[in-house]
Structures are given as C-alpha cells and as structure tokens.
A = this chain, B = another copy of it.
C-alpha cells in the first residue's frame, strides 16, 4: 500500500502484508523477493482461521538487491495485486517520527524520552503536544519541541485541526497518548488510522472509563493492570496491543495502586510503542496480531 522510500544506504527493510487467506501466498511472495535478490532474514506469519485472514512480517536484506528499490516495490506490488494484499515496506534507514501527547502526568513521557535516548525505540520523538504547560521543562531538557494547545469546549475543534496540520507538516507516523487527559474527536482519530496508541490504566475491558484505580480499589481486585491499544472512536474499545498486571492486596490504598500503576503504564506503553515502531503490529477489526 505505502512504501517509505529513501536514499539511505541501510540494507534492510521490513515488509508487512495482510489479505484474505489463499493458497500459495507464502511461496509466491518468497519467490518474488528472492528473484530480486532480496534475502529473507526473518519471516513470521499468522493465519486467523475465524476471520480467514493471512498476516505476514518479513525482514529482508537488500545488500545484493537486483535492480533498484522501485523495482523491488514493483514486484511486491504485482504480488499484492494478485492476492488483494494490503502492504507496507519500510526501509531500515527510515526511522519513524513520533508525537507524544501529554497533560500533567510526567511518568510516561519521561520513560519514552529516556528509552528513545538510550536507543531502545526504533524511531524518534519529534515533538510533544500538550493541553497544559506543566511538562514544558522536561521537553526543554530533552530538547524536543513542545506545542502547547490548551483545549476548551469551545476551541476543541479548531485546536484539533491545528494539531492535525502540525502532525502532517512534521510527517508524524505515530501519535502516543501518554496519559493525555482529553478525548480525541472522531475526526482526529480518522485522520490517523492505527497510528494512535493510548495507554489505559486498567486491565481492559475491566474498569472502562475514568478513575480505574478507584474502581479497582472499591471492587477489591487482587491484581491491577494497564492496557495499550490503538485509539478508535469507541473509547477504550480499540484493538489491544499489550496488557500487563501487578499484584494488589488489601493493604493497598488508592494511592498505592496509582503508584504501582505508574510502573505498569510505563512498561506496557513502551512495549506497544516499540513494537509498533518495529512494524510488529497489525490491527484487524477489534484485534491485533503482534509478531514477537
């Protein structure tokens, strides 16, 4: 579908494909790549028997490519048309650009910035958007542009419109809602399909909506969770990318759950972001395929 071509000398690329399941897909695609000198380094595939869908992630080595990149894309396009595939090819040299949306909580933002700086993320945090000025100091400290766009009932549509323009101008590939305390409109979400990751501070579908740690405390659960999912117009209903939990007990106050939850939120969100940036996640319907 898309191909993010650039002129870098990097010699690997990642191909993601999905289509209705059919006979011969794997062999045809392998043969097409091999015919252009693209060596398969790694391939992972999945067939969902209920949905009748086929998914594949292929990492290829381009060092001995026969012809140029457009030629390679040409043979992939041919196979894709034959099988009715959606596909994307990302060259290794092309690092995805990330926008992080925050409000007042800093733990997820700090975590993502530190991981990016330590080289954990296959992408760069290009900018931060916030509806509050609180975290501007952190942005400055890490030398990332901070766009303050306060939201009121009145200005919401126009502010979101500015945000969309900004994200497009900056060629953003992924929006991360790192405890961003605003509900995005359907318009915004539709502008970035499967490109917005949200962290919800509960084990979805338990404790949907606000104050999940309060709900968890009141219910007396013995584990609390966090869920990273693609944002869709149905709040907290988007395809789940990753979840994890940690123990809770009768000794934990709401404040204790909040504290423990912070650790969970950070690692769950970081995993989802990392996997997305490594082209490991394919969303379909309400679910995701995550190639490990």
Contacts and interface: CB of A to CB of B under 8 A. Distances in A.
Interface of A: 23-24, 26-28, 30-31, 33-34, 39-49, 64, 106-107, 110, 114, 118, 120, 141, 203-207, 218-223, 225, 239-245, 249-251, 253, 259, 262-263, 267, 286-290, 292
Given A250-B46, A250-B287, A288-B250, A242 B222 contact: yes
A140 to B, nearest CB: 10
Interface centre among A33, A49, A206, A286 (most CB of B within 10 A): A206
Contacts of A218: 286
A263 B245 CA distance: 15
B286 A219 contact: yes
A158 to B, nearest CB: 34
Interface centre among A39, A46, A221, A222 (most CB of B within 10 A): A222
| In the A-B complex, the 8 residue pairs with the closest CB atoms | A220-B287, A27-B34, A206-B206, A27-B30, A30-B30, A26-B40, A222-B243, A250-B289
A98 B110 CA distance: 22
Q: How many copies does the complex hold?
A: 4
A221 B263 CA distance: 20
Contact of A26 (B43, B49, B107): B43
Nearest to A267: B263
Contacts of A221: 204-205, 240, 243
A253 B30 CA distance: 26
